[in-house]
């Protein structure tokens, strides 16, 4: 008695499956726009506050 299994050809995905997988992969690969925008605003705000403190120390040293 032989328990060997014959290999089968890989199943071809139809267009709907390929489109669904591509859409999910695209969503997972990108940072959501709201988070990226918020991070940019925080980055700019921190630099503006840092520049203000730098100006205060510069003017206070005069």
Residues 13-37: tens digit of each pLDDT: 677 777 776 666 666 667 788 999 9
Cα dihedral 46, 52, 54, 57 sign: negative
CA 18 to chain centre: 21
Q: pLDDT at position 7, please?
A: 73
Pure H helices in the chain: 15-29, 33-61
Residue 55 has pLDDT above 60, yes or no: yes
């Amino acid at each position: 008695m032989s328990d060997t299994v014959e290999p089968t050809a890989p199943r071809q995905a139809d267009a709907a499956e390929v489109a669904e997988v591509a859409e999910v992969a695209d969503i997972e690969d990108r940072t959501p726009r709201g988070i990226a925008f918020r991070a940019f605003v925080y980055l700019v705000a921190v630099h503006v506050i840092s520049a203000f403190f730098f100006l205060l120390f510069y003017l206070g040293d005069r």
